[in-house]
Amino acid sequence: MNNILNDESPRVILGEYRVTKNLPSQPTVLDENWDLKKFKKRFKIVMVRYEENELEFDMIGIHPSIANAFRRLMLSDVPTMAIDKVHILNNTSVIQDEVLAHRLGLIPLKADPRLFEMKSDTNSEGTEQDTLEFILKIKCTNNKDSSKDSLRAEDMYKNNNVYSKHIKWLPIGKQKEKFTDVGPIHPDILIAKMRPGHELDLKLIAVKGIGRDHAKFSPVATAFYRILPDIKLLREVEGEAAERLQKCFSPGVITIREDKGRKYAVVNSARYDTGSRNVFRYEDLKDAVAMTKIQDHFIFTVESVGALQPHVIFTEAVTILKQKCLSLLDELSHV
């Protein structure tokens, strides 16, 4: 085992009943004093996957407390715009006023929060710099043109389903000149179901806020990290045992190769292993694998709700952390 773990990386070793640490001969980022030169030499970010609203990247050579700070900042301190107040002029639907207001607040809005100011007084009149206004006015009626043989609500009624696309933006001041496309990000979010006689007449007020105050202001659907798994085979495993070994891990971690009619197991990609330790169920396999996790290598996954791109959310978190550090240093200088 020691020969396998001699690369001086700070690791935890997953045993059958316990988790232990290896002890590198040199200080690591987990226990050494802060040194900017060492940090610059060791630290790096590697982009792994970037889809429309989802980003996966590796943060290498950093202390867990700093990695967790970025996670918390993305969840709670990067601001967005969200519906904060709902003026209900008429609601004859079956949904209670407070439930309706809560549902509306959770609809992600297409509005760049960096272009708006934080409202200082929540009770003051909104301005074009800190507020967005919307209306939702819709009434369900019978569809006179529907077929008498159809019993589908979509055929029998008009406006029986209220979607986020029915929310209309009311520009304040010169907002129409500054912003071209403001409104719900997703047009097909179901808000309510109605029947003839039901009506909604609402005025919606959106402001800038942070997830620390309410989850509706959080810019991410999820932001989390995992410590990088590392799996090494200590001996050759072949035949039926290789197939059992493959089933002990997540798909893609272990693959089976063939050479001259002989099947044997190899590690394909340990990255997405869940650390289940199922291999310890088999007496003939438990000594064939070394399962570890590298403590200063973090796999981040950031999934945006759509108002800001994932990479923008992360860079905003970095900026906020810098501002917090400068603020703390300024406070300490006056003690």
Q: Largest Cα–Cα distance of the chain, in whole Å? A: 83
Please indicate, yes or no, if residue 115 is contained in any of the structural domains: yes
What single DSSP character describes residue 111?
-
Task: Specify the CATH number for the domain of residue 90.
Answer: 2.170.120.12
Detail the DSSP E strand segments found in the chain. Answer: 11-14, 19-21, 44-50, 54-60, 80-91, 109-110, 131-139, 141-142, 157-158, 161-163, 168-170, 183-184, 190-193, 199-209, 220-233, 254-259, 262-267, 289-304
Do 198 and 228 fall into the same domain? Answer: no
CA distance 232 to 267: 7
Please indicate, yes or no, if residue 262 is contained in any of the structural domains: no
Q: Which parts of the chain have pLDDT scores under 50?
A: 2-3
Do 88 and 18 fall into the same domain? Answer: no
User: What is the pLDDT at residue 4?
Assistant: 52
User: What is the pLDDT at residue 170?
Assistant: 93
Task: Specify the CATH number for the domain of residue 40.
Answer: 3.30.1360.10
Do 182 and 196 fall into the same domain? Answer: yes
Do 103 and 59 fall into the same domain? Answer: no
Do 124 and 170 fall into the same domain? Answer: yes
Do 34 and 93 fall into the same domain? Answer: no
Please indicate, yes or no, if residue 2 is contained in any of the structural domains: no
Q: Parallel, antiparallel, or unpaired: how do β-strands 190-193 and 131-139 relate?
A: unpaired
**pTM for this predicted structure:** 0.85
Total domains present in the chain: 2
Do 88 and 196 fall into the same domain? Answer: yes
Please indicate, yes or no, if residue 59 is contained in any of the structural domains: yes
User: What is the pLDDT at residue 31?
Assistant: 67
Please indicate, yes or no, if residue 150 is contained in any of the structural domains: yes
User: What is the pLDDT at residue 40?
Assistant: 85
Please indicate, yes or no, if residue 42 is contained in any of the structural domains: yes
Q: Do the Cβ atoms of 139 and 159 come closer than 8 Å?
A: yes
User: What is the pLDDT at residue 57?
Assistant: 96
Please indicate, yes or no, if residue 47 is contained in any of the structural domains: yes
Do 85 and 204 fall into the same domain? Answer: yes
Last residue of a domain, one of 162, 191, 217: 217
Please indicate, yes or no, if residue 138 is contained in any of the structural domains: yes
Do 86 and 59 fall into the same domain? Answer: no
Structure tokens at 38: 């060492």
Do 73 and 186 fall into the same domain? Answer: no
Last residue of a domain, one of 164, 188, 217: 217
Domain assignment of residue 45, given as a range: 11-77+222-234+288-300
Do 72 and 87 fall into the same domain? Answer: no
Do 108 and 211 fall into the same domain? Answer: yes
Residues whose CB is less than 8 angstroms from the CB of residue 59 and which lie 6 or more positions away in sequence, other chains included: 45, 67, 70, 225, 297, 298, 300
Query: Which tens digits make up the pLDDT trace of 274-321?
Result: 988 999 999 999 899 999 999 899 999 999 999 999 999 999 999 999
